[in-house]
Structure 1
Amino acid sequence: MKRILIINPFGIGDVLFTTPVIRALKENLPDSFICYWTNERVRYLLEHNPQIDKIFGLSRGDIKKICSKSRLRGFGALCGLLRNLRKEGFDIAIDFSLDHRYGLISRLIGIKKRIGFDYKNRGRFLTDKIRIDGYADRHVVEYNLDLLGLLNLTPPASRNLELIVSDEEKEKARELLFKAGIYERDLKIGIAPGAGASWGRDAVLKHWPPKNFAYLADKLIEEFNSKIVILGDAIEKSIAEEINGAMAHKAIDLTGATDLRELAAIISCLDILVANDGGPLHMAVALGIKTVSIFGPVDPVVYGPYPVSPKHIVLKKDLSCRPCYKKFKTPVCLRDKECIKSITISDVFDAVRRLL
Structure 2
Amino acid sequence: MLNPKRILVTKFRAMGDTVLLTAALKELHRQFPQAQIHVAATEPWIWLLDGFPGVTKLLPVTWHNDRTARTKAATRLAFALRKEHYDIVCGFHASPVAAMVGLSTGAKIRSIHFHSFQAKNMYSTVQIPGKGIMKPVVERDLDTVRALGVPVPEGVMPEIFLKEEEKAFAKEEFAAWGLKRPVLGVALGASRPTKIWPLHRFAEVAQKWVQDTQGSVLVIAGPGEEPLTEQFYRSISNTPELRQAIQVMPPCTVRVLASRISQLNTLVGNDSGPRHLAAALGVPTVTLFGPEHPLEWHPYPLDRHPRFFIEPLHCRNNQAPGSPPWCGLFECIVEAHQCMTRINAEQVSQQVTRVYSEYGKDLRF
2:52 pairs with 1:49:
yes
Shift of 1:114: 1.6
**Contact between 1:100 and 1:123, CA under 8 Å: does it hold in 2?**
no
**After superposition, what is the alpha-carbon deviation per residue over 1:28-73, rounded to whole angstroms, capped at 9, x for unaligned?**
11111111111112111111112211111114327x59959xxxxx
Q: Corresponding residue for 2:259? A: 265
* Identical-residue share of aligned pairs (%): 25
Q: Conserved in 2, the CA contact under 8 Å of 1:117 and 1:132?
A: no
Shift of 1:325: 6.5
Shift, 1:161, TM fit: 0.8
Q: Give every structure 1 segment of 4 or more consecutive aligned residues whose post-TM-superposition deviation is greater than 6 Å.
A: 131-135
Deviation string, structure 1 residues 67-113 (Cα, Å, up to 9, x no partner):
59xxxxx95x6565333311211111111133122222222231222
What residue is the counterpart of 1:291 in the other structure?
Answer: 285
- Where is the helix percentage greater, Structure 1 or Structure 2? 1
Partner residue, 2:20: 17
Comparing 152-161 with 224-233, greater Cα deviation is found at: 152-161
TM-score by length of 1: 0.86
TM-superposed deviation, 1:168: 0.8
Q: C-alpha displacement at 1:20, in angstroms?
A: 1.7
What is the rounded CA distance, in whole Å, between the counterparts of 2:266 and 2:64 in structure 1? 33
Structure 1 position 141, deviation (Å): 1.3
Taking a change above 3 Å as real, the CA distance of residues 325 and 38 of structure 1, as seen in their structure-2 partners, is: farther
Write the letter of the residue equivalent to 2:339: C
> Is 2:222 the partner of 1:233?
yes
Q: What's the CA shift string for 1:151-208, capped at 9, x where partnerless?
A: 111115971211111111111111211111014xx11001001122xxxxxx111100
* Letter paired with 1:319: P
Q: Do the aligned partners of 2:187 and 2:269 also contact (CA within 8 Å) in 1?
A: yes
| 2:149 counterpart of 1:152 | yes
Is 1:81 aligned to residue 77 of structure 2?
yes
Question: Matches of 1:130 and 1:237 in 2, distance apart?
Answer: 43
TM-score (norm 2): 0.84
Structure 2, unmatched stretches of 5+, are: 358-365
Distance 2:293 2:59 in 1: 31
Aligned residues between the structures: 338
Aligned with 1:170 (options 153, 167, 171): 167
Q: Tell me the CA shift for residue 264 of structure 1.
A: 0.6
For 2:163 and 2:317, the matched residues in 1 are separated by 39
CA drift at 1:9 = 0.3
Shift in CA distance, 42/66, structure 1 to aligned 2, threshold 3 Å: farther
In 1: Cα distance, 2:171 partner to 2:189 partner: 23
Secondary structure of 2:226's counterpart equals helix
In structure 1, C-alpha distance between the alignment counterparts of 2:86 and 2:147, rounded to whole Å: 17
Rate the CA distance shift 1:336–1:20 in 2: closer, same or farther, 3 A: same
Structure 1: 5+ residue runs without aligned partners?
69-73, 197-202
